[in-house]
Amino acid sequence: MNGRYDYVVVGAGSAGCVVAARLSEDADRRVLLLESGGPDTKPEIADPPAWPSLWGTEVDYGYRTVPQAGTGGAAHDWPRGHTLGGSHSINAMVYLRGHRDDFDQWARMGCPGWDHDSVLPYFRRMESVPGGDARFRGIEGPLRPAPSAAPNPLSPVFVDAAVAAGYPRTDDFNGADGEGAGWHDLTIADGVRQSTAAAYLRPIRDARPHLTVATGARAHRLLFDGERCVGVEYRQDGATHTAYAEREVVLSAGTVDSPRLLLLSGVGPAADLEHAGVDVVHDLPGVGRNLHDHPLCSVVYEAAQPIPPGRTNHAETSMVWRSDPSLSGPDLQLMFMHVPFGPPTLPAPPNSFTFGLATVPEARGTVRLAGPDPSAPPLIDPNYLGAENDVRRLVEAVAVAREIAAAPPFGAWRGKELHPGPDTRDPRGLREFVARATGTYFHPVGTCAMGSGADAVVDPELRLRGVRGLRIADASVIPRIGCVNTNAATIMIGEKAADLLRGRSAGSAGE
């Protein structure tokens, strides 16, 4: 499938599907979308409660971290989507944008145009939320996020218990108030997962002959002519193909594979490239650095009565708060799950429920190459709990979970505290528990960080520094993770990237 296109988009995930769909709105633009996985036809993808069963299957890259000193030397499985829709086809379907301050911090970090007021039109453009606050919610977008239409009876118990414990209630995390406890939106429509592949790509794919979607197409390297990126070399059906981009290449392969493809192409820290046996094309120190992910620590209780099976995503309510009232925005999240959930170090009986505790981490890690072979998995080091503040805040969050679990609304449901267990109260024991109970929240970001400084990989218009004809649009450009799940923000990045590529503003294309 060698050929020439106006745009070549690498990766049909949360952002890549958006970029390809929006660019192909212009009928005179030839767009190629490359996806290394297959079609999103596996039945479990569409079935919301089945999402944990997708890990370790053909629709998951099945990555794994290097051993983590902060979690007792454990290596952690890192599921990443390997199908149309990317990780949005295998995730838990939580649709939380983030707090206003999350995006204002991006602007303060050297990313003008990414403050909350500037990105709000893109969030509104993404969605259709009839009856929502029109100042914040959209009504004409492809996605139809909404709170659970078939809630588990434990979900409202959590919200009531959080309020009883003294925390505020929010009516809409994606509206005027992004803090407190409440029902979060889910990307589930008519009882079926609604990924960006389903919402953006599927309705228009057959109607746009100028849009080519190639599945089973694994990009191996980017092609350069001097300082310009001119195309992509990829493998499909056992053969090597070349796709040339007359306008731009857009890298949307995700927080692991976008830096991985840059490094394989000779773009990244020169010393790292030389160590991996890759010729240096462009020395760019920030590639693969700044990796971070919400560390997730699980507090688990056995239920005192049978919990009905979940009909949506097992996690319908949550809470966002600040570890210190003086902070400009929240830095902690509690995801309530009416099932047992945690790393293998926390076995629990099926009739249990979980308080998943996460914080905005200070620790930073890396994605590096193991060598020059494109088929070799990368070396992923998120450096979990590598900063003292990350440990301290999670220890404090355990106390918050216990406080909510002890509130009267949980009285009929609360059984034995399984993890950490009622005898774990002293600071040393709690720190040891946090190390044992913490793993990934599946929210890696930052490895191609946007900014204006020497460590930035892309500028605020998502252009790779020092290279023409190449932009990055996915979670890897996020300079600092927000306080909640990252999927909605990644979709927003895809929407804004499409406007940047076409030289438009949010207002010029409508909201």
Which positions are catalytic?
A: 443
* Continuous H helices in 382-423: 388-405
293: closest CA among 161, 385, 373, 162? 385
Question: Residue 297: CB partners within 8 Å, gap ≥ 6?
Answer: 356, 357, 358, 394, 397, 398, 434, 437, 438
| Spatial distance between the Cα atoms of 178 and 166, rounded to a whole number of angstroms | 17
Long-range contacts of 117-121 (CB under 8 A, 24+ apart): 118/506, 119/492, 119/496, 121/506, 121/507, 121/511
What residues pair up with 277 in beta bridges, in sequence order?
Answer: none
Tell me the residue type at 95: Y
Contact 37, 84 (CB under 8 A): yes
- The amino acid at residue 471 is R
Burial classification of residue 286, based on how many CB atoms lie within 10 Å of its CB (0-12 exposed, 13-18 middle, 19 or more buried): buried
The Cα-based distances of 168 to 331, 407, 451 in angstroms read: 16, 14, 34
C-alpha radius of gyration, the chain, whole number? 22
Phi, psi of 101 (to 5 degrees): -65, -25
DSSP labels for 291-345? BB--EEEEEEEEESSPPPPPSS-S--EEEEE-SSTTSSS--EEEEEESS----TT
Count Cβ neighbours within 10 Å for each residue of 158-178 and write b for 16 or more, e otherwise. Answer: bbbbbbebebeebebbbbebb
Residue 511 in contact with residue 35, Cβ under 8 Å? Answer: no
8-state DSSP, 61:
-
DSSP letter string over 367-380?
EE-SSS-TTSPPEE
In sequence order, the 6+-apart residues with CB closer than 8 A to the CB of 479 are: 106, 109, 110, 111, 290, 446, 449, 450, 451, 456
Q: Mapping DSSP to helix (H, G, I), strand (E, B) and coil, where does residue 19 land?
A: helix
Return d(Cα 411, Cα 473) in angstroms, integer. Answer: 46
Distance (Å, whole) CA 213 – CA 201: 9
Strands, E, within 11-127: which ranges?
Answer: 31-35, 63-64, 77-78, 94-95
